Amino acid sequence: MRDIGGVLITHEHSDHISGLKMLIKYYRVPVYAPRTVASRLCGMLPEIEGCLRVIPVGESFLLGRLFVKAFHTPHDTDESVGYRVEGDGVFALATDMGCVTDEVMEGLRGAEAVLIEANHDEEMLRYGPYPVYLKRRILSEHGHLSNDNCARLARELTLNGTRQIILGHLSRENNTPMRAMDTVRGALPDCPASLYCAPVSGCLELHVGEKLCFR
């Protein structure tokens, strides 16, 4: 824990902040979030106020020796962001988005390594157990990215220099790592990029410019 310089929050949905309360209770690490997200966090976790650092979207700030910039992602919340991190290399992350906007592309383009969303297989979702309203929400432009849309995004990123792609935020009910990997790999037959799926548990140790190591 002593190696953690800060925690970057994308948005306030429970699957993204469920561990935050205990983290700040025991370690009081700085928590970075854009203004609207920060406001929501203060309402949900009043004890976070002393740890919270409000950051501007679209402007870089220094975190240790890294430059970090947030960019908006289209999701069904008042504000949701991805992050671009620049140091000796460039890493970018974008999940929880129903479509790929120009702002998302700008945030991801040129990063050597990216983590992007491959949330669902459309066929599994359409014929799966979710209620209709939830299926519509996921399939909307403020929902989540499908394997097919992720594949198109991955293809575009490799044409702009990305060499390591990690698939994340996979639905346990509407996707499998194999389906996601096969779909995205099919869009990259002649690209030199390495493709990985984020582990369900444990940590992903990333060395930008080198191979990914899992632990």
Residue 41 exposed, middle or buried by CB count within 10 Å (0-12, 13-18, 19+): buried
Question: Other C-beta atoms within 10 Å of 92: how many?
Answer: 24
Q: Look at 210 and 165; give whichever has higher pLDDT.
A: 165
What band does 135 get if pLDDT is binned at 50, 70 and 90?
A: very high
The pLDDT tens digits of the residues spanning 109-133 come to 999 999 999 999 999 999 999 999 9
Q: Look at 158 and 213; give whichever has higher pLDDT.
A: 158
What is the three-class DSSP state of 70?
strand
Q: Once rounded to an integer, what is the mean pLDDT over residues 143-169? A: 95
Q: CA-to-CA distance for 141 and 151, rounded, in angstroms? A: 17
What band does 208 get if pLDDT is binned at 50, 70 and 90?
A: low
> Closest by alpha carbon to 115, among 156, 158, 167?
167
The pLDDT tens digits of the residues spanning 174-204 come to 999 999 999 999 999 787 789 999 987 777 7
Token pair belonging to 213: 């190591």
- HSE value, Cβ hemisphere, 13 Å, CA-based, for 133: 0
Task: Give this prediction's pTM.
Answer: 0.92
> Closest by alpha carbon to 34, among 65, 5, 73?
73
pLDDT at 214: 45
